[in-house]
Chains A and B, each alone.
Chain A
């Protein structure tokens, strides 16, 4: 019932996509496998369709901005209701004009999740059926979760509060 351990799943992924796996990190609180951005969809299809893994649920897609390293890291978190095990896949894309393969044709939930990442980080998903903004208002400019986001409305929190 406990499901497969991370090392086993990571080993299977490595055997299957050896060249595309960049990094295997077990020191993290949630261990993850980092793959190349164009392999995201292939890995997702394998995770879903391989009977011994059976990841039938994509919990979330999100992203993290690393301006110092000039990259955005996409995070995919999978869960299997059959075996009750989890698995995290990460992929790095460029900070401006980053592109990854969409997994919306594999997991229906990814359609909105990828739209959200596109809206807030500006990452494009190749093969997405309707890649438009989902959260910000009509006519919004920029991608607000990028750490260098600026707009006229935006008031940064002051370093020192004014004295009374």
Chain B
């Protein structure tokens, strides 16, 4: 075999003379799923757990996950905490700035449904999926780093299942993202 002693598993599984597009897709998906760069962006106490998961004890690096300080270079954004109505248009804008293919993990009760701020709150958005599409929901208040890590592994599985057309923004009708929101979307909603 020369220099490469063993090829990655997807190459090994190639059927002899298999269809090239399928193989390319698998190779690209494998590389995309193995280098998810996430945006360094935290909202509330869930962000502390996210930092713990990224630091050496739980170590996101071993999945090829590294944080980037800009949405332009990121694949993934954790919505880690309470989304206030004031923050919601900013999150929407960050999501628009993420380069496709982009993924969102809603972390914790607040990002999923408003959580403890569902009742009697005038200032909290009741779930981030009201403004952006979400790929993986990780419940908890806040979720343990292990739970977040599990969510990331599920995201990897999802990426590996995708077709390239899906990944680069050709959504089927039923998966299309919400329409672009007005800057004053709270009034027009």
Tell me which residues from 127 to 164 in chain A have a Cβ below 8 Å from any Cβ of chain B: 135-141, 144, 149, 151-158
Tell me which residues from 161 to 189 in chain B have a Cβ below 8 Å from any Cβ of chain A: 183-184, 186-187, 189
Enumerate chain B residues within 8 angstroms of A151, measured Cβ to Cβ. 122
In the complex formed, the residue of B with least CB distance to A145 is: B122
- A154–B85 alpha-carbon span in the complex (Å): 12
- A156–B118 alpha-carbon span in the complex (Å): 9
Is the CB–CB distance between B119 and A136 below 8 Å? no
Is the CB–CB distance between B126 and A153 below 8 Å? yes
Cβ-defined partner of B120 (8 Å) among A139, A152, A157: A157
Enumerate chain B residues within 8 angstroms of A140, measured Cβ to Cβ. 85, 186
Count how many chain A residues have C-beta atoms less than 8 Å from C-beta atoms of the other chain.
17
- A94–B189 alpha-carbon span in the complex (Å): 33
Interface residue? B70 (CB, 8 A): no
CB distance from B140 to the nearest CB of A (A): 21
Enumerate chain B residues within 8 angstroms of A154, measured Cβ to Cβ. 120-122
**Chain B residues close to A by CB (< 8 Å):** 84-86, 88-89, 118-123, 126, 183-184, 186-187, 189
Is the CB–CB distance between A137 and B86 below 8 Å? yes
Is the CB–CB distance between A137 and B85 below 8 Å? yes
Cβ-defined partner of B119 (8 Å) among A138, A144, A152, A157: A157
- Known interface pairs A137-B86, A155-B118; 9 further A-B residue pairs with C-beta atoms within 8 A, sorted by A's residue number: A135-B86, A135-B123, A137-B84, A137-B85, A137-B88, A141-B187, A154-B121, A155-B121, A157-B120
Is the CB–CB distance between A156 and B119 below 8 Å? yes
- A123–B31 alpha-carbon span in the complex (Å): 58
Enumerate chain A residues within 8 angstroms of B189, measured Cβ to Cβ. 152
- A14–B87 alpha-carbon span in the complex (Å): 47
Is the CB–CB distance between B86 and A153 below 8 Å? no
**What are 14 A-B contacts with C-beta separation under 8 Å?**
A137-B84, A137-B85, A137-B186, A144-B122, A144-B123, A149-B122, A151-B122, A153-B85, A153-B122, A153-B126, A154-B121, A156-B119, A157-B119, A157-B120
Enumerate chain A residues within 8 angstroms of B184, measured Cβ to Cβ. 138-139
- A135–B85 alpha-carbon span in the complex (Å): 10
- A153–B189 alpha-carbon span in the complex (Å): 10
Is the CB–CB distance between A136 and B86 below 8 Å? yes
CB distance from A110 to the nearest CB of B (A): 23
In the complex formed, the residue of B with least CB distance to A143 is: B122
Q: Which 6 A-B pairs have the closest CB atoms?
A: A144-B122, A157-B119, A137-B86, A139-B184, A137-B85, A139-B187
- A79–B126 alpha-carbon span in the complex (Å): 40
- A151–B183 alpha-carbon span in the complex (Å): 19
Enumerate chain A residues within 8 angstroms of B186, measured Cβ to Cβ. 137, 139-140, 153
Enumerate chain B residues within 8 angstroms of A137, measured Cβ to Cβ. 84-86, 88-89, 123, 186
